Amino acid sequence: MMLQINDLHATVDGKKILKGLTLSLGEGEVHAIMGPNGSGKSTLSYVLAGREGYNVTSGAVTFRGRNLLEMLPEERASAGMFLAMQYPVELPGVTTMNFLRAALNAQAKARGEPEVDAVTFLKRIKEAGAKLSMSDEMLKRAVNVGFSGGEKKRNEVLQMAMLKPRLAVLDETDSGLDIDALKVVAEGVNAMRAPDRSFLIITHYQRLLNHIVPDRVHVLSGGRIARSGGPELAHELESRGYEEKASA
């Protein structure tokens, strides 16, 4: 099992957000989590990543057989977890190339693996960037500084392609994307689907799931999974709304 969440409760600023969430994600599976604003979708992603201020009060999370909640954020990353954020941060003065090479080599060191040499890294990042319509000039710019919304999301997928995580959590990666950018991002994700890599895709809308077809769709409501089903559930939600399905 890639990820097992059992009866997870979490608070933010003293407010209960997750209220008994249970979810299983197998190796190589793609699951989508949908739900209205305030249901706890982004809170779940931040709890999994270990973001400060998102406090687990009870429950358990196992990632590839390890107790995720006992791991520091950097340990989670080195173990193969990746979070593509809804609102990617800007890093003035740090180029995308330098940032990604430092991240790759930090993870290699943590795993006891050799660092990636400059020639190999340059070849890999240019190939990955080209697939996401990112020019060499963009790769040399400071991380996300002056980027459009679509460029920031493509940069998140670029990071995922370079780091090659075992579990990728995509927090509303489709937010703010036009149809062309959405297709580019989706193609980048689909190119990484593999038997030993899983995805947890958090989204408001079914349109992303036209391009990244999930194995399972879950409805998050009131801090817990209210309903689960196959890809067809996303179409039902799109046409009939969350309220009816959450109470079904």
- Report how far residue 180's alpha carbon sits from residue 178's, in angstroms, rounded to the nearest whole number: 6
- Report how far residue 185's alpha carbon sits from residue 201's, in angstroms, rounded to the nearest whole number: 12
- pLDDT tens profile 164-207: 999 999 998 887 778 888 888 888 889 999 999 999 999 887 88
Cβ neighbours for 239, distance < 8 A, ≥ 6 positions apart: none
Provide the whole-model pTM: 0.90
Mean pLDDT of the chain: 91
HSE toward the beta carbon, residue 109, CA cutoff 13 A: 7
Strand partners of residue 101: none
Sign of the dihedral defined by the CA atoms of residues 142, 143, 149, 153, in that order: positive
- pLDDT tens profile 46-88: 999 999 999 999 999 999 999 999 999 999 999 999 999 888 8
Domains of the chain, first to last: 3-91+166-246 (3.40.50.300)
CB count in 10 Å sphere of residue 133: 15
